[in-house]
Structure 1
Amino acid sequence: MRDDGTLDDPYAPSSDTADTEDGTSAERTTAASRLRAYVRDLTGRRRAQVALATGVVCCLGLTVVAQVCDEKPGAATRSGSPATSELAQRAEQQGAASRGLDRTAAAPAPSATATPADPDTAAPARKAAPARPTKPAPVAGLDEDQMENAEAIVRAGRKMGVPRRGLVIAVATAMQESNLYNVASGVLPESQNHPHQGVGWDHDSVGLFQQRSSSGWGPVDRLMDPEFATRQFLSALEQVPGWQGMRLTDAAQAVQVSAYPEYYQQHEWRATRVVDAIVPAGR
């Protein structure tokens, strides 16, 4: 019973106990706050340490990568994916192997049972171009113009089918008559209108064989053509019976009827040499 006459409630908390409990609760709250602050501080420190450690590791990694790149500058480009790197290595090995092969082996001989080429589709074989006949150099003391006139006489005679003896007689005759020059006549001005290599004054005689138009040898313009003049001479020679067995000077004189019949003979050896140079023996 209290002093004021009231009865104490046995189940009511006492004031001392309440005060004690209030103090304890406040202390607990303060301790919890301090603990949480400590934990936050500790957590912040650990996070900072972790971040610092991570940064250090990253820097070390970059340093290592840079060193590797410096030592092997082509490594990054050669590596690629594993599959690509493997294919590149295989290609390099195959290339090295093929470069090392011996390529001096002879090609295999064609099979005896090979199918012959179709003549309709096969490319025709190229024919070798015939060798061009070389122009003979002047011989027997002749110059270029004289040698060309001798060639004209020989060509014309071969077209006619005249034997070699007739070619020699014709060349020797031209040597005596015109010195193997195609000569025009001072008496016939028209003869000078055609290509010529000099002018003579033996009446109206013109050309290599000094043939006269007035004697029936042919028109002046035709007689100035070495080939025509040669045909006229050889045609007349072939009309001489036994001309092939005659001395050269006798055969020439039978055609030319010259005042100096023996002069033709002196040119036989030179004429023979010229003909041999133009048409070698056996042709």
Structure 2
Amino acid sequence: ASRSLDRTAAPSTSAAAPTASPADPDTSAPARKVAPARPTDPAPVAGLDEDQMENAEAIVRTGRKMGVPRRGLVIAVATAMQESNLYNVASGVLPESQDYPHQGVGWDHDSVGLFQQRSSSGWGPVGRLMDPEFATRQFLSALEQVPGWQRMRLTDAAQAVQVSAYPEHYQQHEWRATRVVDAIVPAGR
């Protein structure tokens, strides 16, 4: 995640909230509001541990708040699998990052967090990048700026955002990321 392009793209807006259905004329009961489908809190799947699954849930929850389609959620989870093994990683090169909650320390330049984003490359302040929700918003906002990302191979879409030295490595995580997203937000929700 060393690309130095501006990362201030505004997140997409969410779809309108469902409205109450009209009352049944044959009853006097008031109309019930339909609650939006909420992600479940599943047990870990696809070989993940509790921490990894919680981080995947944070990615999915954030993406859903942004109104990102399921494909974007899968791309984001697969990218975090490749970049940090779905752990919120501080940097040994950047001691400041270790002042924030983290699940390990890495040594890849000044890369931090789930997506191994670099403050020095314009992703945002170190403390914010250590927040899984903020890091996810940064990743997904950048992804949504990639023309045609929805039709790209997962690895090409991830690479367009991350600019990794190993662009094909994202693809190996697609099946696991799909399984994780499906466990958190079952199909049709």
Deviates more, 1:200-209 or 1:134-143: 134-143
Say if 1:103 and 1:199 are closer, same or farther in 2 by CA, change over 3 A. closer
Say if 1:133 and 1:176 are closer, same or farther in 2 by CA, change over 3 A. closer
Say if 1:120 and 1:187 are closer, same or farther in 2 by CA, change over 3 A. same
Q: 1:103 offset after TM fit, Å?
A: 77
Say if 1:280 and 1:189 are closer, same or farther in 2 by CA, change over 3 A. same
SS of 1:98's equivalent in the other structure is: coil
Q: Distance in 1 between matches of 2:163 and 2:7?
A: 81
Q: 1:159 offset after TM fit, Å?
A: 0.4
Q: 1:135 offset after TM fit, Å?
A: 1.8
Say if 1:137 and 1:259 are closer, same or farther in 2 by CA, change over 3 A. same
CA deviation digits over 1:101-152, x for unaligned, max 9? 9999999999xx9999999999999999999975200000000000000000
Say if 1:128 and 1:116 are closer, same or farther in 2 by CA, change over 3 A. closer
Unaligned runs of 5+ in 1: 1-96
CA deviation digits over 1:200-224, x for unaligned, max 9? 0001000000000000000000000
Say if 1:213 and 1:272 are closer, same or farther in 2 by CA, change over 3 A. same
Q: Distance in 1 between matches of 2:97 and 2:179?
A: 31
Q: How many residues align?
A: 185
SS of 2:21's equivalent in the other structure is: coil
Would you say the 8 A contact 2:113–2:135 is kept in 1? yes
Q: Distance in 2 between matches of 1:123 and 1:203?
A: 62
SS of 2:75's equivalent in the other structure is: helix
Q: 1:163 offset after TM fit, Å?
A: 0.3
> Which protein shows a greater Rg?
1
Instruction: Name the structure where helix makes up a greater proportion of residues.
Output: 1
Say if 1:195 and 1:247 are closer, same or farther in 2 by CA, change over 3 A. same
- 1:200-219 matches, within 5 Å, as 200-219=106-125
Say if 1:191 and 1:282 are closer, same or farther in 2 by CA, change over 3 A. same
Q: Distance in 1 between matches of 2:111 and 2:146?
A: 22
Q: What is the percent sequence identity of the aligned residues?
A: 94
Deviates more, 1:146-155 or 1:101-110: 101-110
CA deviation digits over 1:228-262, x for unaligned, max 9? 00000000000000000000000000000001000
Greater relative contact order (Cα < 8 A, sep 6+): 2
Q: 1:169 offset after TM fit, Å?
A: 0.2
Q: Distance in 2 between matches of 1:224 and 1:104?
A: 17
CA deviation digits over 1:181-213, x for unaligned, max 9? 000000111100000000000010000000000
Q: Distance in 2 between matches of 1:221 and 1:103?
A: 16
Say if 1:120 and 1:191 are closer, same or farther in 2 by CA, change over 3 A. same
- TM-score, normalised via structure 2 length: 0.80
SS of 1:146's equivalent in the other structure is: helix
SS of 1:196's equivalent in the other structure is: coil
Q: Distance in 2 between matches of 1:139 and 1:115?
A: 36
Say if 1:278 and 1:188 are closer, same or farther in 2 by CA, change over 3 A. same
Q: Distance in 2 between matches of 1:234 and 1:203?
A: 22
Would you say the 8 A contact 2:52–2:87 is kept in 1? yes
Say if 1:126 and 1:102 are closer, same or farther in 2 by CA, change over 3 A. farther
- TM-score, normalised via structure 1 length: 0.54
SS of 2:124's equivalent in the other structure is: coil
Q: Distance in 2 between matches of 1:202 and 1:245?
A: 30
Say if 1:121 and 1:101 are closer, same or farther in 2 by CA, change over 3 A. farther
